[in-house]
């Protein structure tokens, strides 16, 4: 309680200073793993970043919704991957990443274009089309999905961290394109991140630069959570109103309807994610001479051309997401350190799956944010790298020159850089 009071009053003081002294309105975003996953009284010990709650809502309630398990009577399925958001997004604290992964498949047509799979279910009597994700579970045996042999593009996709994503959402598109513009000149033309325009689900006809998901397939937190609710759990909402199959379905769409506060589950999920603090550093390790030397090497080898250290969020009051979202005082004018450019790159590990943007994105992936790396056990989009060194050595393509410089460091220097990564 006291902690959140102090955080709030600091924000208020700084915000008012910002209005007086225009030169330095930015302050560091609050960081902390402050949303512990509790079996009893979920969310009761959590501390938000100071975000203002809608009338009657609390951060604890938003988190409890994110942790709530569903069954078929509350809209789960017919096909799904897990029963709550927190089944996958939790590691000590709710909203973090985990070791969970999921299946994406497809194939190429005669012209080499990616085609989503057709998944026959119900002994061939029904089919699921229009998406590359194949869910692992179902509410009845007839709805179970299986990957057909014909779908020869196959990959696993790792869960991503959601903590601090409200700050990422509050970075204006122009900041991302600015980074993309300067990458070629910093890398002899080798590095050229791609920003793609994707539809904002909550503002039909409006597009914005995609920044969430491994393929930058969604531009806003609300768009992503609606997509996640239907794809991961089979729960339909006002933004994703149709299930992929009606086999064994016992509820009517949309399954996620407003509660007594006028908020649907997707609104609570978005409010929870937007209210989380940024993932914190391991401050003890970060203070060691090795980690500090490693930070310098991270920059001098050029890792930071893609894993961009610092962004600034838009000013409070800035209207984003096609006029549907206003940056609040808690999220505006903040300095964040995500260590990502949120752009798509071909680093030689492309999974061959097309989701959004031009066709050349099939072999690209978003630079993953490295904040929170010290609570991750497996790495890369497919979680196939069990050590950070292995993850580094898998970078090829656009990252070739940078990795060559990394390999040119002495082994002590390489260890320093890895110590720095472990402090993130
Ligand atoms: C079965 C595991 C699983 C469940 C359950 C799940 N997710 Fe995810 N989540 C993932 C995976 C995997 C990704 C990366 C998806 C991709 O890009 O292909 C992801 C990505 C995200 C992201 C994007 C984060 C970023 O920074 O790009 C958000 C936001 C998110 N999930 C929210 C949710 C919400 C809200 C729920 C509950 C409705 C949910 N997820 C349920 C596995 C899961
Ligand atoms: C050209 C852009 C680019 C450069 C340069 C680059 N990276 Fe990456 N990095 C990526 C992309 C894209 C991925 C995701 C690849 C995948 O999942 O297959 C990634 C993944 C990672 C991961 C795994 C993160 C996770 O959560 O799984 C680590 C660690 C990493 N990079 C560290 C580094 C280091 C250290 C350097 C410098 C030696 C570096 N990267 C240089 C783009 C880049």
Could you identify the residue written with the tokens 């970078």?
Answer: 395
State whether residue 397 is helix, strand or coil: helix
Q: Alpha-carbon distance 156 to 106, whole Å?
A: 12
Q: Residue 55 class from Cβ within 10 Å (0-12 exposed, 13-18 middle, 19+ buried)? A: exposed
Atom of ligand 2 nearest to the CA of 350: 18
18's CB contacts (< 8 A; 6+ apart) are 24, 25, 27, 333
Identify the residue whose C-alpha is closest to ligand 2 atom 1. Answer: 399
Going from the Cα of 66 to the center of ligand 2, the distance in angstroms, rounded, reads 29
Q: Is residue 153 part of a domain?
A: no
Q: Is residue 311 part of a domain?
A: yes
Q: Is residue 145 part of a domain?
A: no
User: Which range of residues forms the domain containing residue 340?
Assistant: 2-95+158-422
- All residue ranges of the chain with pLDDT < 70 are 1-24
| pLDDT tens-digit series, residues 108-148 | 999 999 999 999 999 999 999 999 999 999 999 999 999 99
Ligand 1: which of 80, 157, 160 to mutate, judged by most atoms within 8 Å of the beta carbon? 160
CB atoms within 10 A of CB 71: 10
Q: Is residue 106 part of a domain?
A: no
The answer to whether residues 59 and 272 touch, using CB atoms and an 8 Å cutoff, is: yes
Q: Is residue 146 part of a domain?
A: no
Is pTM beyond 0.85? Reply is yes
Ligand 2: which of 213, 296, 367 to mutate, judged by most atoms within 8 Å of the beta carbon? 367
Counting the structural domains of the chain, the total is 1
Q: Is residue 10 part of a domain?
A: yes
Q: Is residue 246 part of a domain?
A: yes
Q: Is residue 329 part of a domain?
A: yes
CA dist 402 → 178, 194, 302, 415 (Å): 21, 18, 6, 16
What is the pLDDT at residue 237?
A: 98
Atom of ligand 2 nearest to the CA of 405: 38
């Amino acid at each position: 309680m006291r902690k959140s009071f102090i955080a709030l009053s600091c924000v208020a003081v700084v915000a008012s200073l910002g209005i007086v002294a225009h030169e330095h309105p930015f302050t560091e975003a609050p960081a902390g793993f402050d949303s512990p996953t509790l079996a009893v009284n979920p969310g009761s010990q959590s501390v938000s970043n100071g975000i203002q709650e809608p009338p009657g809502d609390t951060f604890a309630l938003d988190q409890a919704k994110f942790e709530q398990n569903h069954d078929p009577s509350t809209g789960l399925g017919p096909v799904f991957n897990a029963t709550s958001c927190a089944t996958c997004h939790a590691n000590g604290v709710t909203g973090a990443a985990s070791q969970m992964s999921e299946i994406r498949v497809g194939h190429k047509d005669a012209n080499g274009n990616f085609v989503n799979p057709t998944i026959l279910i119900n002994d061939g009597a029904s089919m699921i089309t229009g998406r590359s994700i194949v869910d692992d579970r179902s509410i009845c045996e007839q709805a179970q999905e299986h990957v057909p042999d014909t779908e020869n593009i196959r990959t696993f996709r790792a869960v991503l961290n959601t903590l601090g994503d409200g700050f990422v959402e509050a970075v204006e598109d122009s900041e991302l394109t600015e980074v993309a513009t300067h990458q070629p000149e910093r890398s002899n033309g080798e590095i050229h991140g791609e920003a793609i325009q994707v539809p904002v689900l909550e503002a039909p006809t409006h597009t914005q630069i995609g920044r969430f998901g491994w393929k930058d397939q969604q531009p806003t937190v609300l768009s992503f959570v609606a997509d996640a609710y239907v794809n991961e759990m089979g729960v339909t909402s006002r933004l994703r109103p149709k299930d992929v199959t009606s086999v064994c379905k016992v509820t009517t769409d949309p399954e996620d309807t407003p509660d007594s506060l006028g908020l649907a589950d997707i609104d609570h999920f978005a409010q929870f994610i937007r209210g989380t603090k940024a993932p914190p550093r391991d401050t003890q390790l970060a203070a060691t001479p090795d980690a500090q030397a490693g930070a310098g090497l991270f920059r001098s080898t050029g890792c930071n051309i893609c894993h961009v250290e610092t962004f600034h969020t838009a000013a409070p009051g800035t209207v984003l997401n096609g006029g549907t979202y206003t940056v609040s005082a808690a999220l505006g004018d903040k300095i964040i350190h995500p260590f990502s450019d949120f752009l798509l790159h071909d680093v030689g590990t492309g999974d061959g799956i097309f989701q959004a943007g031009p066709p050349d994105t099939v072999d690209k992936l978003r630079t993953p944010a490295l904040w929170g790396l010290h609570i991750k056990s497996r790495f890369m989009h497919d979680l196939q790298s069990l050590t950070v060194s292995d993850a580094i050595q898998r970078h090829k393509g656009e990252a070739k020159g940078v990795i060559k410089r990394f390999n040119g460091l002495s082994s002590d220097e390489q260890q320093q850089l890895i110590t720095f990564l472990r402090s993130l």
